[in-house]
Amino acid sequence: MRTPNRLLITALAAATVVAAMPSVATVACASGTEVIQTFPTAGPAVSQWRFCHEIVRIPDAGGAEVQSQTLVIREAEFRPGALATPIRAVGEVRMAEIFVPYHEGAPRFHDMTDYAFDLQALTATECPATRLDGDRVCKEIVDRGLAWRDPYFALARRGEKLVLWSLINAANYDYLMRYEFFDDGTMEVRAASTGRKLGGPDDTRGHLHNFAWRVDLDVAGASGDTATLAGVRIGASVRDADRTIEREGGFRWESKAFTHLEVEDATAENGRGRHVGYTLAPAREGVAKLPESWMKYPMWVTRNRPGELRARDVATYAADRERVDGEDIVLWFIDSHNHEDDMRDEDREVVPLSYLGFRLEPHNIWDTTPFYP
């Protein structure tokens, strides 16, 4: 049985300091699009999220915003403590493509950029909480389960999160765009599909749903961010295998290496003098490497350029291999769900929701375990 060093643990718990973040100017949201949420929802406020939400159309190849609608989160700031300075986390995040190729090679639907599908008004059954923007955005506050438990003391905490989601109808399928804002500064980005098989209940053709997101991680401001392709090499021992991403390009994901992307600001530090950042942590079923050039890699890093908003064009954006180290950068993340040939009977009439996506996890945003006494 382990014997805890109670003196050391007590000293560490007492050493909580207030994060020394640089001040970032708050950007005004358009009327009716600002969300401010403090946690915990009962008792004195500790942490806080502030962001803008907006429904926009995806641009066509010429830049005109005339194609399918998407729910965008902009200018997301997080305050990691009651007395802490808020820090910019996300400049913008949006779903940029939903690509549905069938196993036999055709059809191949680009639901966000071949069509002009709309976000749908939600009913009270679908969203029994707060509905925004013409009922097209659902806002919920929910319990997120056990956040942490101290094995040496009788201390534990359940967490909360704010959930914002919308639903787009794409003919026989509906797709959910879901953003979750945790009380500890984590942001979870997810998508799901539900609906009917294209050829009806007896359609046995398999197909893939590929969701692509554009993530402008503006950690502590737009410039000065460095992305790292992080992972490990496992043998008799385990060692880090990280490398700084210096130029635009696509990157492989390896489950055995625990691949993830870290974005760190060059100057911003927390109260312990450590550089702050955010980590894009995948939660995958698998990777669909398809013939389209933008599907060659499941993760891309590019410079943040006005008008470069279409996931299906990301290989073109990255072709000139501009430097990204220390710049204003964008991460592109693609995740895939496979409906196999001769699908299960549970998918026969209406295919149930199946979620996938990624987490944006704070890295040295806090000075200690969030909400630790």
119-168: per-residue pLDDT in tens? 999 999 999 999 999 999 999 999 999 999 999 998 999 999 999 999 99
Rounded Cα distance, 87 and 32, in Å: 22
pLDDT for 57 beyond 80: yes
Residue 2 confidence (pLDDT): 44
The number of angstroms, rounded, from the C-alpha of 124 to the middle of its chain's C-alpha atoms is 26
How far is the C-alpha of 268 from the C-alpha of 259, rounded, in Å? 25
User: pLDDT at position 7, please?
Assistant: 33
Residue 258 pLDDT greater than 50, yes or no: yes
For residue 219, the SS3 value is coil
Give the mean pLDDT of the chain: 91
pLDDT confidence bin for 80, thresholds 50/70/90: very high
pLDDT of amino acid 302: 97
Q: What percent of the chain has pLDDT over 90?
A: 80
For residue range 259-290, list pLDDT tens digits in order: 999 999 989 999 999 999 999 999 888 899 99
Class of domain 36-363: mainly beta
pLDDT of residue 12: 37
Mean pLDDT within 6-23? 42
> Rounded to whole angstroms, how far apart are CA atoms 329 and 136?
30
Residue 201 has pLDDT above 70, yes or no: yes
Please say whether the beta carbons of 189 and 61 come within 8 A: no
Domain boundaries, the chain: 36-363
* Preceding amide of 101 cis, omega within 30: no
